[in-house]
Amino acid sequence: MPFEEVRPLKIAVCVKAVPDTESKIVVAADKSNIDFTGLRFITSPYDEFAIEEALRIKEKLGGETVVLSVGGAETTDVLRDSLARGIDSAVHLQDPAFTNLDSLSIAKVLAAAIKDGGYDMVFLGQQGVGGDNSQVPGMLAELLDLPQCTMTVKLEVEGTNFKAEREIEGAHELVEGTLPAVFSAQKGLNEPRYPSIKGVMAARRKEITVKNAEALGLAGKVGNGVAPLKLAEMAAPPDRPQGRLIEGDPDSQVKTLVNLLKTEAQVI
C-alpha cells in the first residue's frame, strides 16, 4: 500500500457582517452608505453555508479553520458567531482605509491576509446579502491565482482532489479539481448548525487577531482615493406607487383589467 501523506487541511472562511435581514434600512445623511445606527449585524446568510462546510470538512478530515472578515466594529460579533459555531480562530481585517470598499478592494485585502497562510481551501458565501454583488469570490481566486468553484451546492474532498457540483441556470455542473482552491457556497450546500452555548462560552475565551492595512502590506494601496471604483451616492429606491383597486361586478372588473393590461401596462 502506498504511503499517503496525511497533512491536516488548513481552511479559511471569509465572512461578512451584514444588517439583520429583518431590519429596516435607511440611507445615511451623507449618502455614502446605509445608516448603521441601531442596526443589528449578523453573519451574511450565505456565509453560514461556507462556515458549515469548513466545519464539516474539518470534522471529517481533520485540520484547522480560520475565519476572516473585512469590516469595522460591527464585525467583531460576527467573528464571535463563527467561533461559537466551532471555527478555531478569527482574523479581523480592520483599518480606517477599509471603509466602504468596493468588491475588488475587499478581495485584495482578503488575498493579502490569505496568500502566505498555507491554506488548502478558501470558502466564501456566494454573495453578501445587502450588496449582492457576488464578485469577491471570483476576484479573490484570481488574485490568489487559485482555481475556483463558485455557487457550490455539493462538495467532496479526497486527498488533494475535490469533486463539486455548481448550480448553473436550470442544472448542476460537475467539476473536479485539485487543492488549494476557492469555493463560494450556495444555498443547499448543507444545513448550517446553530452556535451552541458551549461554543459561545469557548468563543468568548478565544482571541480575535486584528490586522490593519500596514500589517497586510497594503498601506496606501486600497480604499480611499486608490480604488478604481467609487461609490458616488446611495439612494433609497423610489416609493412604490399605490396599487389601484378595480371596482364593479366581476364581468366589468375583468374587462377593465384586460383593457388596462393592453393600453396602460402594454403587456398583452
Q: How far is the CB of 196 from another protein (least distance, A)?
A: 5
State the minimum distance, in angstroms, from the CB of residue 81 to another protein.
9
CA distance 222 to 103: 11
Question: Which of 73, 84, 90 has the alpha carbon at shortest distance from 15?
Answer: 90
Q: Please, which residue, 73 or 201, has the CB nearer to another protein?
A: 201
Mark residue 33 as left, alpha or beta (left: phi above 0; alpha: psi -120 to 50; beta: remaining): beta
Q: Which is nearer to another protein, 45 or 138 (CB)?
A: 45
- Kind and range of the H or E element at 78? helix 75-85
- Report 182-221 residues binding another protein (CB under 8 A): 193-198, 200-201, 204
- Per DSSP, the three-state class of 144 is helix
Residue 180, preceding peptide bond in cis (omega within 30° of 0) = yes
Q: Which is nearer to another protein, 60 or 204 (CB)?
A: 204
- Matching residue, cell 423610489: 238
Q: The C-alpha cell of 190 is what?
A: 448543507
- Smallest distance, another protein to C-beta of residue 77, A: 9
CA angle 202/207/212 to nearest 5° reads: 150
Residue 143 burial (CB < 10 Å; 0-12/13-18/19+)?
middle
Closest approach of another protein to the CB of residue 202, in Å = 11
Please give the Cα distance from 121 to 159 (Å, whole number). 12
Nearer to another protein among residue 9 and residue 55 (C-beta): 55
Site for another protein in 117-146 (CB under 8 A): none
| Interaction pattern, residues 64-103, with another protein; x per rule: CB under 8 A | ----------------x---x-------------------
CB of 197 to another protein, least distance (A): 4
Nearest alpha-carbon partner for 125 in 205, 169, 188: 188
> Site mask, another protein, residues 20-59, x = CB under 8 A?
----------------------------------------
- Identify which of residues 175 and 200 has a Cβ nearer to another protein in the complex: 200
Q: Residue 58 or residue 85: which is nearer to another protein going by CB? A: 85
By the criterion CB under 8 A, which residues form the site for another protein?
80, 84, 193-198, 200-201, 204
